[in-house]
Structure 1
Amino acid sequence: MNIISEPLPSQQPLAEALVSDYAAVQQLYTGDARLDVSWMNRAEWLDRSEDTRVDRKAVVERLRRYNALHNASPEVSAALDLLEQPDTYVVTGGQQSGLFTGPSLVIYKAITIIQAAAHASKKLNKPVVPVFWIAGEDHDWEEANHAYVLTRELDVTRIRLHKNDDRRTQVGQTEVSQESWNTVIEKLSGALQDSEHKAELLADLRADAAASRTLTEFFAKQLGRWFGQYGLILLDSSDNGLREVEQSVFRRIILDNDRLGQAYREAADQLESLGFEAQAEVAPDGANLFYIHEGERLLLFKREGRFEDRKGLISFSRDELLEQADLHPERFSNNVLTRPLMQDSLLPVLGTVLGAGEIAYWGLTGRAFTAMGLQMPILLPRMSFTMTDSAVQKYMTKYELSFEDVKDRMADKREAWLAGQVDMDVDGRFDEVIQSFEALYEPLIEEIGTVRRGLLKLGAANKEKIREQIEFLRQRTLGALEEAHAAALKQWECIGLTLFPMDKPQERVLNAYYYLNKYGQEWVHELLQIPYEITGGHRIIEL
């Protein structure tokens, strides 16, 4: 395995500023992760504020039950023992559950969380445990239910897990039949090439599916299989047992709702004044909470002193909503802006691992942390990787392509290479012919127009037909050129599909099972040996 550092801009100005120009965004965040003083200040604040969070033992007890079911290992049990102690901190990060864990960036986020926790523990000489927050409360099934897999034919195919209705149920509470599990696993089997690792991977998937009621449980079992041995604790935000522990926090969010709403709006204005765009909607009447009504997750808004959903299916006064939180905490769910507050109310979070988009919307939450008597944790950019195998490396060398070439100018490079395979400049010669033809033909049309007026229109139409025939011949010539070099162009296509499938970074599209199938589950453990980079960064991994 060879590792090459290679920039891959995120297209998120806030995320870029966090690591390259912290002074420009320091009003929005808590501390620069590169400075030791940031870590020490955060640790001291966590020590002082221990009594303001939900009781550790209650949180750990719920996490023990969940992890015993889906992530049972001695290392996780030991990490939970540590978390129960008041001098232990947490590095966390999260993602919604996805089919076969979704895009490979999910694996990289888990790796970053584990490595960041070890880094922080060494820096502070204190125990720091990694926690992966599974956003099982999310209701966007279409975003979670699929995986893009690189097939044995080097095509990208989407494998999709279907459900029987379009209700807005939480992914973590949406049941999946064994028939549906079998269908998607068989599709994955058909997509993957035969390898020495394939039978074991499929056996593991079938075992996990047989023991999984929901996509979130399936997701948790896969993460546990790879990362449990590193002490990665899993937390599912849709776990009803956890909701009972969160009850007091939901009460605070309801009681302080007006103040929180004001904090989010002020933060949005502050972002604009600094020249940034808010990356999450801050609705003027938003309550920033969901309510689970008859299984569906409904976003709440404040209207004339009441909390209601957009369609008016539910309506509560503040006191009625507080009573619901007391009696039925499992009916409440955070939105993207209150989830960070819930996370820090439950756990002693030293730092949280985020992708670029998450860093951007966390810029809206600083004032809300203060309004809740909390303090934003240190933000840690997720490490980013692009995998290349020996075939892709060979092709890139053959065609003298850099990673930047593939990212920014692949089509131009391909066309230039193809044009260089023949002595004639196909496009240039055809352009010359068209120019010469038009230069000769247009004066003729004008002359025949003096013979009879109708001939002018006929001549113009005739000219277009001749031009269409010349263009037709151009395309046939280019097609013949591509046919003559089909094998080479397939290699170009392989490079593009592997590094930037669907014109996006590999980690945001391709599922990890292509690499697990090719290199075995040891691939995950080898990635964990890559040195931790506190600013995230992007690295090419030559396998």
Structure 2
Amino acid sequence: MEVDCIPFKETGYFSKLICDYLDQLESLKPFYSRFPSAENFKEQIKEKGGNYPAAHRKVLVEALKGQYKGFEVSESTQANITALEKENSFTIVTGHQLNLFTGPLYFLYKIVSTLNLAKQLNDLYPDNHFVPVYWMATEDHDFDEINYFNLHGKKIQWNRSASGAVGALSTEGLDAVFELLSPELGNTGNAEELKKLFKKAYLEHSTLTDATRYLANALFGKEGLVIVDGDDKALKKILIPYVEKDIIEHIPYKAVSESITKLSEVSSDYSIQVNPREINYFYLKDEIRERIVKKNGKFHVLNTEISFSAEELKDELHKYPERFSPNVIARPLYQEVILPNLCYIGGGGELAYWLELKSYFGEMGVTFPMLLLRNSVLVITKKQSEKLEKLNLKISHLFLKQHSFINKKIRDISNIDIDFSPQKKLLEEQFKDLYELAQQTDKSFLGAVKAQEVKQKKGLDALEKRLLKAQKRKLKDHVVRMTDIQNELFPNKSLQERQLNFSELYLEMGDALIPTLLDSLNPLSGDFTILKY
């Protein structure tokens, strides 16, 4: 296995905000606590250790024991759960939706980043213990985002109606998905292992939460991964005072809105990922997960007849905290309240909205975690590497948008010069004399000279484009082979990790897939990883 890398900002697939964060732009520093370098964890440990109540540890461990009932728990995962009761233990967390059969490949990369960072920190800080955690987004209700995955360019989809939190959904009907999946996988030994994994996860568990826990546990349990489900009454009981500050005092709305304004002042090119609401909680009951809104002095649950006075709502919250479900703004706070967490590992979009939250955490008195961009990976087979060599293509070329990629390579391989820059420079020199002449006569002549220069430059641009087009026709076979390999590695003109399901790599690599990722990915590298096998 060969490992190569490209700086994230050179890929063209990461926003200006994330690239500036990775460059530790001075004007962004007010929006995060510490940059995730190995040495910075020392102070993060000290701060979180002094701001995380010991009583939360006992509640957390008891909740986890309850959540794992009925599941096979590896020795390393059990040891990590037990360790969380000790004051020298801390977590490294990633989170993800309950995508069918893990969804896109980057699900694996998130968890591998988390496992590897915990391992590195256990080596660097032996007086402490670091636990890798996967937070399941069981309360999410965006079923259409999670009900499919792609395999061999085909969409394997779970078709059913759904409402409420996805974690509570019955797995009934997933046998039909298995019937679609099975022939697509084939009959190799690796294919049979995947079929067995799908059947055990989805056909032998009654809810999507349990199916996902089984799947993540089967893939990563022996590495000590701890899986947390936030949809838990005991854990939400800890959250009660923070829910009140949100619903009654609107603290997140004010703090996050101010942060968004300040971020926009740093750069108008930063796109705002999420906007806060006055109330950042849903009401969760049975198959309902609807927003809570305040209207005419009362708190209403949208699309229902349910409403509360302020006192009634507080009473409901204290009796049934499990019925209050955080949205995308409040969920990060919930995570950091119940876990002794040091670092959150996420994708570019996730980190973009976390950067809006620091002042909100400060208002709530909760330590803000370090933010680490997860490993991103492009996996290339030996056969694909050979194709690239024959076409004299560098990996970095493939990250270009296809139009730019083709134009660049046509220019590179043409036996004639398609760059008309020298002619344009010569034209500019010629017009200098005309401008000098124009200065000595009527101003209207100056305008005519300028118009003629623009016209002739446009003419050269048009000729350059026509020449490029002619060369594309002449080198059509080469263009086809170039675009074919780019389309293979960047399906749907997107990053491979956002399109492929892990099963596609598992069919080739089998049980070696996850150990290979664990051996190859460095979460603190700061680069996009290229793996050749």
**TM-score, reference length from structure 2:** 0.82
Partner of 1:131: 133
Q: Which of 228, 231, 237 matches 2:221?
A: 228
Partner of 1:190: 183
Structure 1 residues 355 and 97, CA gap change in structure 2 (3 angstroms): same
CA deviation profile, 1:391-419 (whole Å, cap 9, x unmatched): 21122222222223222153565689899
- The answer to whether the 8 Å contact 2:238/2:338 transfers is no
The structural deviation recorded for 1:109 is 0.2
CA deviation profile, 1:64-110 (whole Å, cap 9, x unmatched): 22234345211110111111212101111100110110100010000
- The answer to whether the 8 Å contact 1:34/1:535 transfers is no
Equivalent-residue separation in structure 2 for 1:193 and 1:388 (angstroms)? 22
Structure 1 residues 376 and 10, CA gap change in structure 2 (3 angstroms): farther
Partner of 1:94: 95
The structural deviation recorded for 1:289 is 0.6
Structure 1 residues 13 and 309, CA gap change in structure 2 (3 angstroms): farther
Partner of 1:173: 168
Matched, 1:303 2:295: yes
Structure 1 residues 122 and 142, CA gap change in structure 2 (3 angstroms): same
Structure 1 residues 416 and 110, CA gap change in structure 2 (3 angstroms): closer
The structural deviation recorded for 1:199 is 1.3
CA deviation profile, 1:214-238 (whole Å, cap 9, x unmatched): 2332222121112111100001233
Structure 1 residues 382 and 420, CA gap change in structure 2 (3 angstroms): closer
Structure 1 residues 314 and 3, CA gap change in structure 2 (3 angstroms): same
Alignment map for 1:112-261 (pairs within 5 Å): 112-125=113-126, 126-149=128-151, 151=152, 156-163=153-160, 165-167=161-163, 169-177=164-172, 180-238=173-231, 242-256=232-246, 257-261=249-253
Equivalent-residue separation in structure 2 for 1:268 and 1:320 (angstroms)? 33
Equivalent-residue separation in structure 1 for 2:383 and 2:205 (angstroms)? 37
The structural deviation recorded for 1:363 is 1.4
Alignment map for 1:322-471 (pairs within 5 Å): 322-411=314-403
Structure 1: give runs of 5+ residues left out of the alignment: 424-477
Equivalent-residue separation in structure 1 for 2:410 and 2:166 (angstroms)? 48
Structure 1 residues 68 and 400, CA gap change in structure 2 (3 angstroms): farther
Structure 1 residues 312 and 66, CA gap change in structure 2 (3 angstroms): closer
Partner of 1:441: none
Structure 2: give runs of 5+ residues left out of the alignment: 416-471
Where 2:30 maps in the other structure, the secondary structure is coil
CA deviation profile, 1:223-263 (whole Å, cap 9, x unmatched): 1112111100001233xxx2332123134222354222211
Q: How many residues align?
A: 471
Where 2:519 maps in the other structure, the secondary structure is coil
Paired letter, 2:494: K
Q: Which of 35, 52, 62 matches 1:50?
A: 52
Equivalent-residue separation in structure 2 for 1:16 and 1:417 (angstroms)? 26
Partner of 1:279: 273
Equivalent-residue separation in structure 1 for 2:57 and 2:391 (angstroms)? 57
- The answer to whether the 8 Å contact 1:145/1:160 transfers is yes
Where 1:528 maps in the other structure, the secondary structure is helix
Structure 1 residues 237 and 500, CA gap change in structure 2 (3 angstroms): same
Aligned-residue CA RMSD (Å): 2.8
Equivalent-residue separation in structure 1 for 2:371 and 2:310 (angstroms)? 33
Equivalent-residue separation in structure 2 for 1:366 and 1:24 (angstroms)? 14
Equivalent-residue separation in structure 1 for 2:162 and 2:98 (angstroms)? 18
The structural deviation recorded for 1:195 is 3.0
Structure 1 residues 321 and 294, CA gap change in structure 2 (3 angstroms): same
- The answer to whether the 8 Å contact 1:251/1:322 transfers is no
Where 2:189 maps in the other structure, the secondary structure is coil
- The answer to whether the 8 Å contact 1:131/1:232 transfers is yes
Where 2:399 maps in the other structure, the secondary structure is helix
Where 1:30 maps in the other structure, the secondary structure is coil
CA deviation profile, 1:115-158 (whole Å, cap 9, x unmatched): 11122222322101111001011000000111011x2xxxx111
Partner of 2:76: 75
Worse overlay, 392-401 or 333-342: 392-401
Structure 1 residues 43 and 409, CA gap change in structure 2 (3 angstroms): closer
